[in-house]
Amino acid sequence: MTRVSTAGNFSVMTSNLMRAQIRQNEMGEQVSSQKVAGDLKGYAKSAEVLTAMRSAQAKIDGFLDQTKLVSNRLDIQDSALNQISEGIRGGREAIANAMAAGSGETLMQQLQSSFGDVVQGLNTKSNGLYLFSGARTDTATTTAGSLADLTAAASTAALFQNDAYVTSNRIDEATTVNTGVLGDGVGTAAFNAFKQVQAYVDANGPFTGTLNTTQVNFLKGVLPAFDAAFTGVVTEQGKNGIIQKRFESAQTDLKDQADTLSGMVGGITNVDMAEAITRMEAAQLAVQASAQVFASLQNSSLLNVLK
């Protein structure tokens, strides 16, 4: 004959009620967080795969952040190179216009303005650091400020303060490219072109009024130097553009990889909300049923029968 114990029944129902409440809490947390679990223990066999995915995700995010920073710097670098090339072209046009008009009245003022654009471009900063100074990012690329500085310096090279370090950056784990440009590399030819004109003025006096034959022949002779300097900077700008495109493409690829990994991680960590809500409702029903049975046991005590 099976013996019925009130204490035993209470113990069993208490355990059932507690398990039902724990299950209800777990389901409630899944619904509110939309995640399967709050730590790796909750993912059982998928924990190792999830850890590997998150490690890869962190690495890709790191490369993505870097490509964004480098792309921004390359954009600024492109603008700076464009300013340098425009300064050289402005100087060339000032000389050509003076020759066409037969007057050098304002030639030196125009050349000074154009040279100022070149200097400003060379001393461009990105995030507070000089772009064209190599590793000496806290030092202005050139000390030149006026045309007179070109002939006052011992040499053109003495006017540049950059070192020989060329900045390089990784596009991905397997590819590293040079992204930096050195100031003396893009500025020396331009400085020498402007310097020829200033040296002529220092030796022969300023251009005033109508240009004579000697002056015209001299100015005609310096035009190729400006053309060569302009071509050199435009070529460097083209190289910079190619690198920009590579980083833009890498950024797109990295975003695609990040999105793919996010989807894969979400497939493991994210809950099916419809299923989770159904499980939560079932857990709530189990709690209610256990509570009802527990309450009914209070009225089935042997003491109540004896009364």
Per domain, the residue ranges of the chain are: 1-32+272-307, 50-265
Longest dimension (CA), the chain: 136
Q: What DSSP element (H or E) covers 202?
A: helix 183-204
Q: Give the per-residue pLDDT at 22.
A: 64
Whole-angstrom CA distances from 165 to 132, 134, 161, 301 are 10, 5, 12, 90
- The full DSSP string for 247-270 is HHHHHHHHHHHHHHHHHHHHHHHB
- With tokens 């409702």, the residue in question is 281
pLDDT along the chain (307 residues), means of 10: 51 58 59 54 57 73 83 94 97 96 94 97 95 96 96 96 93 85 97 97 92 96 97 96 89 77 62 59 59 58 55
Q: How many CB atoms lie within 10 A of CB 79?
A: 14
Q: What span, in angstroms and rounded, lies between the C-alpha atoms of 238 and 74?
A: 12
CA dihedral sign, ordered 199, 187, 152, 97: positive
Amino acid, single-letter form, for residue 162: N
Assign 273 to helix, strand or coil: helix
pTM (predicted TM-score): 0.71
Contact 225, 190 (CB under 8 A): no
Q: What span, in angstroms and rounded, lies between the C-alpha atoms of 85 and 193?
A: 13
Q: Give the per-residue pLDDT at 40.
A: 47
Q: Say which DSSP state 285 is in.
A: H
Burial 187-219, CB ≥16 within 10 A → b, else e: bbbbbbbbbbbbebbeeeeebeeebeeebeebb
Q: What span, in angstroms and rounded, lies between the C-alpha atoms of 76 and 136?
A: 18
Q: Give the per-residue pLDDT at 29.
A: 60
Contact 234, 186 (CB under 8 A): no
Q: How many CB atoms lie within 10 A of CB 169?
A: 19
Q: What span, in angstroms and rounded, lies between the C-alpha atoms of 205 and 31?
A: 86
Please choose, from the candidates 90, 80, 81, the residue with its C-alpha nearest in 3D space to the C-alpha of residue 237.
81
In sequence order, what are the residues at sequence separation of 6 or more whose Cβ sits closer than 8 angstroms to the Cβ of residue 51? 40
Q: Are strands 129-130 and 168-170 parallel, antiparallel or unpaired?
A: unpaired
Q: Say which DSSP state 46 is in.
A: G
Q: Give the per-residue pLDDT at 63.
A: 78
Q: What span, in angstroms and rounded, lies between the C-alpha atoms of 71 and 64?
A: 10
Please choose, from the candidates 190, 183, 194, 189, the residue with its C-alpha nearest in 3D space to the C-alpha of residue 112.
194
Please choose, from the candidates 78, 67, 176, the residue with its C-alpha nearest in 3D space to the C-alpha of residue 126.
78
Domain 50-265 sits in CATH at 1.20.1330.10
- With tokens 């209800």, the residue in question is 24
